[in-house]
Amino acid sequence: SLNVRKKVTIVSQRAQDIERYIMETLHRGATVFEAHGAFSGEKEQVITTVLSRRQAVLLRNFIRRTDPHAFITIVNSSETVGKGFRAI
């Protein structure tokens, strides 16, 4: 389907650098949550964004260079509606 997008969730110690890349380079928005790691107990930043396949690849490559210890999940979204995507 042409409307498939990638929902990307990132846990990183370099969250601000990643947020800036998403907004300034990929021209997308993101939501940032403050969380704590259940295993480590440490304070974490969790970034969630929805991207095209190409943008997801670019972001993954950026994160690989910026924070090789980041934790990333990328899942397919069969339908994304709202501002910047299809109308509701």
Question: In which element (H, E) is residue 10 found?
Answer: strand 5-12
Please state whether beta strands 31-36 and 5-12 pair in parallel, antiparallel, or not at all (unpaired): unpaired
Residue 6 pLDDT: 96
Query: pLDDT digits over 6-55, tens only?
Result: 999 999 999 999 999 999 999 999 999 999 989 889 899 999 999 999 99
pLDDT at 76 over 60: yes
Query: pLDDT digits over 45-68, tens only?
Result: 999 999 999 999 999 999 999 999
Residue 4 pLDDT: 85
Give CA 88 to chain center in angstroms: 22
Residue 3 pLDDT: 74
